[in-house]
A and B are shown apart, each in its own frame.
Chain A
Amino acid sequence: MSLTDFIDALTGRMTLEALPFWKMVQNPTPENIVNGAIATSVAAILVLAAVAVLAVLTYFRLWRTVWFDWLTTVDHKKIGIMYIVLSFVMMLRGVVEANFMRANQAVGFDGGFLSADHFGELFTTHGTIMIFFVAMPFLSGVINYVLPLQIGARDMSFPVTNAIGLALTASGAMLVMASLLFLPFSIGGWTGYPPFTGKEYSPDVGPNYWIWAVTLSGLGTTLTGINVACTVYKKRCPGMDFWKMPLFVWASVTTAILMIFALPPLTVATAMLALDRYLDFHFFTTDAGGIPMLYANLFWLFGHPEVYILVLPAFGVWSEVFATFSGKTLYAYRTLVWATLSIAVISFLVWVHHFFTMGQSAGMNAVFGIATMLVGVPTGVKIYDWLLTMYRGRVRITTPMVYALGFVMLFVIGGASGILLANPSIDYQVHNSVFLVAHFHNMVIPGTLFGMLGAYSFWFPKAFGFMLDDWWGKLAASLWIVGFMLAFFPLYAVGLLGLPRRSVAYSEASYTPYTVVAMLGALVVLAALGAMFWQLYISIRNRDALNVYAGDPWDGRTLEWSISSPPPVYNFAVGPEVFARDAFWEEKRAGHAYQIPDQWEDIELPANSWLAPILFFSSFTLTFGLVWHMWWLVILSLLVVVGALVARSFVIDRERVIPADVVREEHLRWLKAVREAPSAPRELEVAPGNWGRPQSEAGVPE
């Protein structure tokens, strides 16, 4: 074996051309210099950021903390927080990419500043990141954090599986990040339609990155779905029957069921595409009997329920937020549950509307169009339920409520454009145009993202023990709302005027005013993100004044507010028992909150496990090796994966015990703090001085 053979085996398909600056150096045309400079700067920022993080961890000697408190943890709360941190990091990249695309289209009349391939990578990574590595981790994180607390459980059913789910999602995200250093990523869009992403038309490694990133995320999400469903079925505290579960729990378990049934078609589709690309199978090729249309069906069999996976947890959040900040029982709880379940069922019956233009008979298109519009019924009902929850309540406009009101008003507009798209004869016109882009952003930004940001503002004090600054929070929420409207309402118009999606340039001068406004909107969204990070910074700085250790800053209704902020590692010193739907609210009303338990017991918790971090690193190296055909790395990583799984089965000490004395001491310290905390009237809810013990409205008579 000669040296070159050895190097070839070592590097697989990777050559110097994978480096972001190589093309610019080899062939310095103006276009290559502009695109190379952008790509190189971004790669440099990524490397510097990674080095900075490692340096900080080393300088402050935080490695032990990172390993023992975070990477190996199986605590659902910490896993939830890590999901959300991952989501914010990826969101920053996704929003910056969006700004580049909007800037390019603003000057896109007869050509922007980005090359067509660079633009292709941007819209592909933007979509992939925003769906799989922002929205999904965010909602998984919120569910992870909140759900066990709401059902009075100490952890999820399968804590280690939970950590593995995060590990797989995070390594998928890392793979997408790695594509900034070793180009190229796919240009086939977040849907990755073959035959374009097949071997014949995309012989480069780009689609490999997409396939493995999405596969990792899909596997992680499937595990999360199974875990959440089991947790809800098996770990509810005594007294909490199905009709006493908070609506967020209903939304979560419905989402989990959707995950269990919807993600496998995606994993199958990407696996089949991988077989096409790696082993010359012909599932989706244009020759030898392959049928690309099958991919479209499989993908959207996942893709449409996915839309509801994204939006149902947000609906759950709104149900908590509207009830809490209206100081009022949720209107028509059972109706909301039935509406949630109906949406989940209908979500599996509408996938064909993503390709009305593929040539089905008119009858079939009409059936799927009508099924699509049916979703509007339970969704409309939910909107009215939330309005009726505010009706005759006492509505407090806090940051989560700004998101909630923005959501309701913008979401119905998105719903209306969805009804338009559900009409095949109109879809024939606006399919593949930026009208469609405006529509789905109108659903996932006010729907999913506002829901998750509302959840972040709502439960942050629970997770960290201090409030987020309300002024900056409201500013960020307002900027999100305004930025969204500026960025996407023009796209509705210019989509009707005929601008196809994924266009790096266009030949109608009349499009320019719209694309310029959309670019301003993208900048406002970037400012919103900046405001959020600033809000986090000054809240951490003022954390003593914003302290809510007593645990109930919002005059909450459900169990998570009945414990300290942040909650102890075991969540509940004594397992709760519930007698009402708004369990904690009713306790406060009856004057039974904050009682000293009669007896204390040792608490058994799952012990930390090194399995998840090992799978995180090895699944990354495995897929990175697969992307670049570095077979030595693939084999090595597979050995590590299998070895770790086998080794884990020999671990005997899987539990750790918190002694009753420790529990007792912590709990009494907290009860003392609760008693000493001045009880805050709702006027002081968002001011320093809300110590987390409310003057509850639960006592206010009708």
Chain B
Amino acid sequence: MDSPDVNFLDPEGYVAQQQRVHFWRIVALMGLVVGPILVLTPLIAYRYRFSGNSTYTPDWHFSWIWEAAIWGGPIVIVTILSYFLWQNTTALDPFEPLPIDGEPVRVQVVGYDWKWLFIYPDHGIATLDELVFPEGRPLNLELTSETVMQSFHIPVLGGQVYAMEGMVSKLHLAADRPGVFRGRNTQYNGHGFHRQQFVARALPETAFSAWLDTTSSEARPWSDAVHDRIAERSTLQEMTEADDTGAAFRDVPADLFSGIVGPMDRDPDWRSRDRRDASVDAGPADGSAATATGQAPDPAR
């Protein structure tokens, strides 16, 4: 594995950049709160020490001025923080497409113990533990799990979202430039947990097309046997050392992902149902935003 970038303070994509800005903004604001207390606490304890000769007012216990200050200060700070929180949270909803240009690449992600399967439904291919995508274009992920709850995270690109069996969650990311990034599951799921890492590889457009072509022609054919083998509890390394199942597959059926999510007795796309209801109320705002940014219509919407 190349030496990948691993943290959001050194971001490589739109979402992580915003997160870094927000992180330092909160740190600065909290510094205003924490700093004075760190200074005042020892100062007061020393100034009014027992052996000193400072003013002593054993019965003084209330002042409206102090009262206004100690309630008002935190309320002002929390109000400011709340404003930023609201802005940032709604702007960086992982379920929403990113406001950047380019035709999105669609990838469906399935979590296993202890590996990730990446399905490219528009190209009929799938890979294990290697997510390849073009730089500069939106990467639209749909996630589920065929085992316990997992959390999908590529820190340098953006936040994490849980992948849960029988449900579809979404994550929208993008990389600013070509690179190799580390991704991982962060939700503990047994003794292979710490090795459940994958490589996210952002390629230039032409290299990505070439990769698609190579994989479509050279990968092994997908089969139910391959599926069963992947679903066993093992890391990719353990699996490939044991036999030659391989890590890239072609002829992947178009309904593989929806088949894994399963014939649900509840709406599998539970978040988009909320969205549909919301978009009726919101009128054209939703659609126009997508058009304005050149966003291709998301099939799920």
Contact A195 B149 (CB under 8 A): yes
Contact B164 A380 (CB under 8 A): no
B238 on the A face (CB < 8 A) = no
Binds A, one of B23-31, B207-215, B221-229: B23-31
Contact B60 A355 (CB under 8 A): no
Q: Which residues of B contact A397 (CB under 8 A)?
A: 45, 49-50
Chain A residue nearest to B155 in the complex (CB): A498
Contact B37 A383 (CB under 8 A): yes
B178–chain A nearest beta-carbon distance, Å: 21
A115 on the B face (CB < 8 A) = yes
- Contact residue among B27, B34, B48, B186 (Cβ-Cβ distance under 8 Å from A393): B48
CA distance A623 to B56 in the complex (A): 58
A493–chain B nearest beta-carbon distance, Å: 10
Chain A residue nearest to B42 in the complex (CB): A405
- Contact residue among A361, A377, A432, A496 (Cβ-Cβ distance under 8 Å from B74): A377
Q: Which residues of B contact A289 (CB under 8 A)?
A: 265
- Contact residue among A187, A401, A419 (Cβ-Cβ distance under 8 Å from B190): A187
Interface string of B68-89 (1 = CB under 8 A from A): 0111011101100110111011
CA distance A520 to B95 in the complex (A): 42
Interface string of B28-67 (1 = CB under 8 A from A): 0011011001101110110011101011111111100011
Q: Which residues of B contact A700 (CB under 8 A)?
A: 56, 58
Contact A702 B59 (CB under 8 A): yes
A505 on the B face (CB < 8 A) = yes
B161 on the A face (CB < 8 A) = yes
Interface string of A352-371 (1 = CB under 8 A from B): 00010111011101100110
Q: Which residues of A contact B274 (CB under 8 A)?
A: 361
Q: Which residues of B contact A420 (CB under 8 A)?
A: 23, 26-27, 30
Interface string of B106-148 (1 = CB under 8 A from A): 0000000000000000000000000000000000000000011
Contact B194 A503 (CB under 8 A): yes
Chain A residue nearest to B262 in the complex (CB): A287
CA distance A374 to B160 in the complex (A): 25
Contact A366 B85 (CB under 8 A): yes
A693 on the B face (CB < 8 A) = no
- Contact residue among B57, B91, B167 (Cβ-Cβ distance under 8 Å from A328): B57
A107 on the B face (CB < 8 A) = no
B198 on the A face (CB < 8 A) = no
Interface contacts (Cβ under 8 Å), in number, total 274
A199–chain B nearest beta-carbon distance, Å: 12
Binds A, one of B3-11, B242-250, B293-301: B3-11
A32 on the B face (CB < 8 A) = no
- Contact residue among B34, B60, B148, B190 (Cβ-Cβ distance under 8 Å from A413): B34
Contact A423 B37 (CB under 8 A): no
Would A425 and B92 be within 8 Å (CB), given that A370-B82, A387-B37, A396-B50 are in contact? yes
Contact A390 B50 (CB under 8 A): no
CA distance A691 to B88 in the complex (A): 60
B8–chain A nearest beta-carbon distance, Å: 5
Would A392 and B74 be within 8 Å (CB), given that A422-B85, A502-B188 are in contact? no
Contact B26 A423 (CB under 8 A): yes
Contact A425 B22 (CB under 8 A): yes
Contact B19 A426 (CB under 8 A): yes
Interface string of A380-413 (1 = CB under 8 A from B): 1101110110111111110001000100110011
Would A196 and B164 be within 8 Å (CB), given that A201-B148, A329-B61, A392-B54 are in contact? no
Would A505 and B57 be within 8 Å (CB), given that A193-B149, A390-B48, A416-B30 are in contact? no
Contact A373 B81 (CB under 8 A): yes
Contact A328 B60 (CB under 8 A): yes
Would A370 and B85 be within 8 Å (CB), given that A381-B70, A700-B56 are in contact? yes
CA distance A330 to B166 in the complex (A): 55
B151 on the A face (CB < 8 A) = yes
Q: Which residues of A contact B86 (CB under 8 A)?
A: 366, 370
A400–chain B nearest beta-carbon distance, Å: 13
Which residues in window 153-171 of B have CB below 8 A to A? 153, 155, 158-162, 164-167, 169-170
- Contact residue among B57, B162, B191 (Cβ-Cβ distance under 8 Å from A115): B191
B99 on the A face (CB < 8 A) = no
Contact B58 A363 (CB under 8 A): no
CA distance A682 to B155 in the complex (A): 56
B119–chain A nearest beta-carbon distance, Å: 19
A120 on the B face (CB < 8 A) = yes
Q: Which residues of A contact B7 (CB under 8 A)?
A: 496-498
B292–chain A nearest beta-carbon distance, Å: 19
Which residues in window 45-61 of A have CB below 8 A to B? none
CA distance A117 to B189 in the complex (A): 11
B94 on the A face (CB < 8 A) = yes
CA distance A388 to B27 in the complex (A): 26
Contact B85 A682 (CB under 8 A): no
B96 on the A face (CB < 8 A) = yes
Contact A409 B37 (CB under 8 A): yes
Q: Which residues of A contact B193 (CB under 8 A)?
A: 116, 502-504
CA distance A498 to B69 in the complex (A): 38
In the complex, which range does the number of interface residues on chain B fall in?
Answer: 35 or more
CA distance A329 to B31 in the complex (A): 30
B206–chain A nearest beta-carbon distance, Å: 31
Contact A432 B164 (CB under 8 A): no
- Contact residue among B69, B162, B170, B189 (Cβ-Cβ distance under 8 Å from A358): B162
CA distance A498 to B54 in the complex (A): 49
CA distance A697 to B59 in the complex (A): 11
CA distance A507 to B196 in the complex (A): 11
- Contact residue among A374, A385, A395, A683 (Cβ-Cβ distance under 8 Å from B78): A374
B291 on the A face (CB < 8 A) = no
Contact A392 B60 (CB under 8 A): yes
Q: Which residues of A contact B55 (CB under 8 A)?
A: 392
CA distance A201 to B233 in the complex (A): 10
Q: Which residues of A contact B197 (CB under 8 A)?
A: 507
CA distance A496 to B82 in the complex (A): 22
A242–chain B nearest beta-carbon distance, Å: 17
Chain A residue nearest to B94 in the complex (CB): A428
Contact A332 B160 (CB under 8 A): no
CA distance A390 to B56 in the complex (A): 10
Chain B residue nearest to A331 in the complex (CB): B61
Contact A361 B6 (CB under 8 A): no
Q: Which residues of B contact A384 (CB under 8 A)?
A: 66, 69-70
Contact B148 A195 (CB under 8 A): yes
Which residues in window 180-208 of B have CB below 8 A to A? 182, 184, 186-195, 197
Chain A residue nearest to B274 in the complex (CB): A361
Contact B151 A357 (CB under 8 A): yes
Would A405 and B194 be within 8 Å (CB), given that A377-B78, A392-B56, A700-B58 are in contact? no
Contact A394 B149 (CB under 8 A): no
CA distance A540 to B30 in the complex (A): 45
Q: Which residues of B contact A415 (CB under 8 A)?
A: 34
CA distance A207 to B9 in the complex (A): 37
Interface string of A71-109 (1 = CB under 8 A from B): 000000000000000000000000000000000000000
A152 on the B face (CB < 8 A) = no
CA distance A195 to B158 in the complex (A): 26
**Nearest 3 interchain pairs by C-beta:** A428-B159, A116-B191, A362-B93
For this complex, 29 residue pairs linking A to B, each with C-beta atoms less than 8 Å apart, are A116-B194, A196-B190, A287-B166, A332-B61, A357-B159, A358-B164, A359-B162, A362-B93, A366-B86, A369-B85, A369-B89, A373-B81, A380-B70, A387-B41, A394-B48, A397-B50, A405-B42, A409-B37, A409-B42, A412-B34, A416-B33, A420-B26, A423-B81, A423-B88, A426-B19, A426-B22, A505-B194, A505-B195, A702-B57
Interface residues of A (CB under 8 A from B): 115-117, 120, 187-189, 193, 195-196, 201, 286-287, 289, 292-293, 326-333, 335, 355, 357-359, 361-363, 365-366, 369-370, 373-374, 376-377, 380-381, 383-385, 387-388, 390-397, 401, 405, 408-409, 412-413, 415-416, 419-420, 422-429, 431-433, 496-498, 500-508, 682-683, 697-698, 700, 702
